[in-house]
Amino acid sequence: MAPGPRSGRRYRVLMAPSGRGRATLLAFVASVTLLSPAPASAGTSIGGIDVSQWQGDIDWSAVAAADIRFAIIRATKGKDVLPEVLPAFVDPKYEQNVAGALASGIVVGAYHRATPDAVATDARGEADYFLKHARIEAGDVLPALDIEETGGLSVDELREWVRAWLARVRARTGLRPLIYTSPNFWRTNLGDTTWFAKHGYPLWVAHWDAPAPSVPAEDWAGRGWTYWQWTVGDRGSVDGIDTAIDRDRFAGASLAGGTIASLRVTPAAGGTITGPRIACGGVDLRCFRLANPGETVELVATPDPDMAFLGWSGACAARGTSPVCSVPMRGRSRVSAAFRAVITLPQDGAGTTFRWGTTDAPGTVGGSYRWDHRAGARQTFAFEGGAISLITVAGPGMGKARIGIDGSRRMTLDGWAPRRTLGVTHRFDELGPGPHTLTVTALGIARERATGTRVGVDALRWGGSMRADPPIASGTWAPGSAAAASDGTFVASDAAGAAASLGFDGAGVSLVTARGPGMGSARILVDGVFVRTVDLFAPTRTFGVEAGITGLTDGRHVIRIIVVPPEDRPGRTVVVDGWIVR
């Protein structure tokens, strides 16, 4: 790793004080080479260094001026061969090096020099010691394990040691650390295993003075190297450092591909956002995590009871109102979500409008007329002036209706006639100036000779103008009751073309309806756009059935339900039991 004091030729040395203070040579790298130029890939990579206490005091501003973009700094080392003399320790220059590099705008990373042995808890202990002392923050180079000695372990034992160290760091940080090794060491002492590469642990390969590194583990399972320690420069080869110095390259044009990514979730009232190592909302406030660059973190927005998910912001904004978002981790990502209270409305709640069905009838004023036949179905029209004429349709299937003006009963209309008659006019005058209302309420009854109880409204005339299919001020379908209904009551219609509408503010809405053997179909439109047709037939009657739409842009919308009698069965009824706005 970072070289100790040496001559112009490069020997890797590891020194430990003896009991008499002598320096004992413990190991060396068996290659002796001359300095070589920068690797051929330098134009598509980013330059850096790795350092330890052996570099002494570093002038980090001079290093930065030499176009060194990152520094991987030794934080800790495991116990030495004489643990009673030199147990695991923190590099004495670590904090000084981190502070100096950061102050000079150099990206930092931390590595741990491993000293494996056969003690079962050794790897976890070294990992915990590293995590206790190393800086591991968003934007830093990924933490690294420097594995370049076996400690006398077999290939299988060393694999397990490395796996245990990496797993411990991943469990505590959410990160897959870099693995620092040489090609020969990996192939010889870890059996050239591809397990670590296939499980997402990136490679920091040490291969000096070659035009390109030899990459073990089948080119690291096809992923290649992430960092490359490509040479050791002589004293003074990097401005600001007086000793020999390891030189490194990152394989990419942006360090964001090799530094720690982060995800910060902003908690929002009304729900939680969850994902791996994230549980943000309510009493859970694990709203921040680190991740390897290139990793994908899947988040799920879950509204609290009686709340609805409205949509994402930040890195998930493009997902709109889908409750699931996959965040590709690179750099610093931020995410939030919005929730709102679910509003439950009765069938005739604020913003609702009901219109009767329609039947084409040539010869009527507008070519068709509005009708219903169930008791209690009502339509109210607003008009101006002292008089109004109601134009209706008479015939054998027509029944009776109550006509009211300004809330007062004026007459009971009997629509029966031996044959169909159009343009039947009922005039109401001497009303006085100003605004008025006319209400037509179907009674659901008819004289004995009638074949039905239908009440038809063709047109209204006031102020000198005839108005076919006039707009309504208010109205309802026929009321009904059932213990299973949301508040014990509902409204229903089986008239083809009858419509129930609700204007609402939100990102989703549902009609609360019923299924059953006598039910028909309902066509659903939102803001005038067809959504789908819902078949409400079922062998047994069930209330509390929801049919609607989510994923709308949060704002003002109108949902419209139109009765569509099926052609293949007698059931025609559509029930409105309530509305749910999200």
| Residues with catalytic function | 50, 146, 148
Own/partner long-range contacts of 264-267 (Cβ < 8 Å, ≥24 apart):
264/288, 264/332, 264/333, 264/334, 264/335, 265/299, 265/334, 265/335, 265/336, 266/314, 266/334, 266/335, 266/336
Residues forming beta bridges with residue 297, ordered by sequence position: 327
Rounded to 10 degrees, what is the CA torsion of 7, 9, 14, 18? -50
Residue among 218, 209, 213 nearest 251 (CA): 213
How many angstroms separate the CA atoms of 405 and 388, rounded? 10
Cβ-contact 344, 548 below 8 angstroms: no
Cβ-contact 414, 458 below 8 angstroms: no
Q: Which residue has the tokens 């912001």?
A: 313
Measured from the Cβ of residue 1, the count of other Cβ atoms closer than 10 Å reads 22
Count of all residues that appear for the chain in the document:
582
Q: Which residues contact 534 (CB under 8 A, 6 or more apart)?
A: 513, 521, 522, 524, 547
Helix (H) or strand (E) holding 99: helix 94-103
Q: Quote the tokens at residue 53.
A: 């206490």
Phi and psi of 66, rounded to 5°?
A: -85, 15
Cβ-contact 309, 277 below 8 angstroms: no
Region of residue 351 (left: phi > 0; alpha: psi -120 to 50; beta: else): left
How many angstroms separate the CA atoms of 481 and 471, rounded? 28
How many angstroms separate the CA atoms of 3 and 113, rounded? 13
Cβ-contact 309, 271 below 8 angstroms: yes
Q: Quote the tokens at residue 69.
A: 């973009």
How many angstroms separate the CA atoms of 112 and 130, rounded? 6
Query: Of all residues in the chain, what percent are helix, strand and coil, respectively (each to 5)?
Result: 15, 45, 45
